[in-house]
Chain A
Amino acid sequence: MLARIAHELFWLGRNTSRAELTARMIDGVFQADLQARPDDPAGVTLSWGAVLAIMGSTATSDSGRPSRAETVALLSTDPANANSVVASLQRAREGARSVRDVISAEMWEAINSVQLGLADAAIGVTGYGGPYSFVSYVKSHTALFWGVASRTMLRDDAYAFLDAGGRFESADMVLRMLRVALPPSGERSAPRDGQALALLAAVGGLQAFRRAHVVAPSAAAVANFMLYTRSYPDSVAASIDAVRAALELADSNPRGSDPVLRLTRVLADLDFRGQEGRRDGEELLEVCQIVGSELAAADRDIAERYFGGVAAAAAAARAA
């Protein structure tokens, strides 16, 4: 298939996933932030500064200490902020438009219709209503998109790139969340436990965690769960595995593919570390950093192997 189309599909997946995860994070943190500090270590807490850190340095607030209203608006509905939910959805729609012939009509309809109700759903973000309506709107429409994709789209290269993008973004976002929420030292600290829990609740994994583990949620336990647990679909290991599987399908020679080989190695490493038993604070953080940089390298590999030729050609054409 065309490299340009593959690239658009990959980023359609990434933008859709990013919009959803950002919305979920806003919801989880907003609810925890409205209330006072929990008097129990198992309570939920995450500051808006941490959320901005997760979203990268481009999302920094104007004032020193970011406020709730400011951050929520910045990350949800601010069209000028490239990392806002609205901007991600906008890019997803533009991407979908350029591959309208490849994706199914229902998928296009799902992503195109997001824009229609978005303005109404966003009213509460700045008013008294809070982000709830906006967040649940985004969650249900992105779920609709992935749902019709899984039912109506041919399982060909195109689907593989779309799927790879969506899962790649989950892995990346969850890693970012963990790197911010994990304790810097090996010690157990209540605020960090709370942050980890807030994130877990935000990505919708709290119930899964409780079913999988009898231990009380601590930052380390949650991080172990979100990193290594293959049976949990939003864990880093499960997401990377899905990306690898998708690329393997799309690649005519997967055994010679840098990104596939790299991801396979990362997975083996993750499985090995997961087998070694629980790790705390610093070690987990180190794993997150290693996997994070491997993912960034895989991102470059993917661009190089699958999208590279056309990009270079386009650049050369413009340069000429």
Chain B
Amino acid sequence: MSSTLPVGVFDEVFEHDGQPRPYAQALVAELERLGPDSLVAAGTLRDTIFMRQGITFDLTSADGAVADRPFPLDLVPRIIPAAEWRSIKRGLAQRIRALNHFVDDVYHEREIVRAGIVPWTLVASRSHFARAAHGIRPPRGVYTHVAGCDLVRDSQGSWKVLEDNVRTPSGISYMLENRIAMTRLIPSLFAHHRVRPIDQYPALLHAALRWAAPVADGDATIVVWTPGPANSAYFEHTFLARQMGVELVEASDLVVRDDVCYMRTTSGLARVSAIYRRLDDAFIDPLEFSPDSLLGVPGLIRAYRAGNVAIANAIGTGVADDKAVYCYVPAMIRFYLHEEPLLDNVTTYLLDDPEQLEAALSRIDQLVFKPTGESGGSGVVIGPAAEERRLAELEIAVRREPAHYIAQEVVRLSTVPTVSADGTLAARHVDLRPFAIFGEEIRIVPGGLTRVALEPGSLIVNSSRGGGSKDTWVLDDEEDQASERIYDTAFAPPSLPDLRLGSWTGQAQQQQQQRGLPAA
């Protein structure tokens, strides 16, 4: 396998001398055995399967035409050793717990503001700060039921949090479908690794929603709320509803009467007690937010405020995934949990501070600038890759509204070998989005969605901009296998009678035996 590694980049499979890292040796050997032709063949099969199953996304080409393309799953999985995963998992759980505290705090006592740690002007000016959520404490006090934090590895290989997504993070369906596809396309890659399964995610989500619902466990009616088939993540909405066995509703299916939320069914109104919503705060209730929203359910916030329905994620969580608030997460962890952060932030500059603003603008061609209230990579300018004119526009925009931008040091994302069109492998940059569920406890399915930039040297991993994804393997190790013995010894299958084959002669013989006739 040929693989040229750029200097100053951490490759997750190969050491700097070109030797595979110990945990990746078996994978590399198997990839070499398969060779480029097998990988190309498996890629063709992958596209066929994805097109048939409708696992696609819309790609807008240069001439504006929208094409339905199979989701670009790369065939080389990404491996995360067990010990590394344990520390990521602990770090994420800590972070999500702190973010949940923060959301509760800013809509109630505001202790973190009074302690002088986070300025109130910053919180109140965030575009996703929801006044309507003030004073509402959702059932069981959980706000961030579903969270997806984006992680990257820097040039030393250490994990950093790039951003937090605690509104409606998407990608879980691709993560699950990627695994199923990999077991079908190249099962031999799994042969020498014990990869931890991830298919329990929908069951965990369902359990967390049932737990959050303000009614007895057995009676909880849970729904997934989608903006509709035109939404780019509609596939994921249908996927989750199907996997959990719950209804997928649109706004017109829901109605609020006397502060109780119902859905319209063929047998009248049926009470809904938990809603997993996949649209932003601004659209959910025209009485409280945008009055012109056609996607909303009038009165839903009243039902929510009355404690009659759980909404996941809760109203107002967007304030916690704002990119300016992101800078304060390590401080939140110390303040609420009295712990040191286990996962670091990427070095970030708050631009409403005049000193930091000037320092950042003087290095405008070396930093990444991000608008604070956006998600999905929109509006992000990567200094080293941007044209001069774009930088000039950016400087004007930042100077006009410095509080709505942050600047970050460029992270040279780690790389993983990736299959090129001709079946050969080349290093490409990756990030990772693990998915956490906050129910009775915080559960994180092993791994997450690895996104990969398919262009050489590119740091853009978004699928809408030419990125792909990889199956992410968290390996099992001794510590996780404590329960292994139970599986092996508990099983002694009973012996069942042979299957009957029903040939005419066999039939005849059986008849003879039953009638006591001599065999022919």
A307–B501 Cα distance when bound, in Å, is 15
Report if B377 contacts A (CB, 8 A). no
Least CB distance, B436 to chain A, in whole angstroms: 15
Q: Does A137 contact B (CB under 8 A)?
A: no
26 interchain pairs (CB within 8 A)?
A: A30-B183, A32-B197, A34-B195, A36-B480, A40-B200, A47-B491, A53-B495, A53-B496, A56-B497, A56-B499, A57-B498, A58-B499, A83-B499, A128-B38, A128-B188, A130-B183, A130-B184, A132-B185, A207-B242, A212-B245, A214-B245, A299-B500, A303-B510, A311-B510, A312-B508, A314-B508
- How many angstroms between the C-alpha atoms of A72 and B493 in the bound complex? 18
- Residues of A participating in the B interface, judged by any CB pair closer than 8 Å: 4, 7-8, 10-11, 14-15, 18, 30-32, 34-40, 42-45, 47, 49-50, 52-58, 82-83, 91, 128-130, 132-133, 176, 179-180, 189-192, 207, 209-214, 216-217, 292, 296, 299-300, 303-304, 307-308, 311-312, 314-316, 318-319
Q: Assess A53 versus B504: contact at CB under 8 Å? Given A207-B242, A210-B243.
A: no
* Residues A34 and B187 in contact, CB atoms below 8 Å apart: yes
Known A10-B502, A39-B446, A207-B242; further 16 A-B contacts with Cβ < 8 A: A7-B502, A31-B183, A34-B187, A34-B190, A37-B483, A49-B493, A53-B493, A54-B493, A91-B501, A179-B496, A300-B514, A311-B507, A312-B508, A315-B520, A318-B508, A319-B517
Complex Cα–Cα for A44 and B509 (A): 42
Indicate if B136 sits at the interface (CB-CB under 8 A): no
A314 contacts B504, CB within 8 Å? yes
Contact of B257 with A by CB under 8 A: no
Complex Cα spacing A32 to B517, Å: 48
Q: Tell me the minimal C-beta distance from A97 to chain B in angstroms.
A: 13
Are A30 and B490 touching (Cβ within 8 A)? Answer: no
Q: In this assembly, does B354 line the interface, its C-beta being within 8 Å of a C-beta of chain A?
A: no
Q: A35-B190, A128-B187, A303-B507 are in contact. Are A216 and B180 (CB under 8 A)?
A: no
Query: Do residues A50 and B504 form an inter-chain contact, with CB atoms below 8 A?
Result: no
**Chain B residues with CB under 8 A of A192:** 490
Whether A56 and B498, one on each chain, are in contact in the complex, defined by CB atoms closer than 8 angstroms, is yes
Instruction: Give chain B interface residues in 446-480, CB to chain A under 8 Å.
Output: 446, 475-476, 480
Residue of A nearest to B500 (CB): A299
Asked if B183 and A315 make an inter-chain contact with CB atoms under 8 angstroms apart, the answer reads no
A251, chain B: closest CB distance, angstroms: 19
Interchain nearest-CB distance for A23 vs B (Å): 14
For A82, A128, A190, which residue has the most chain B Cβ atoms within 10 angstroms? A128
* Pairwise interchain contact A128-B34, C-beta atoms closer than 8 A: yes
CA gap between A7 and B487 in the complex, in Å: 43
User: A38 touching B197 by the CB < 8 A rule?
Assistant: yes
Within the complex, the shortest CB–CB distance from A230 to chain B, in Å, comes to 19
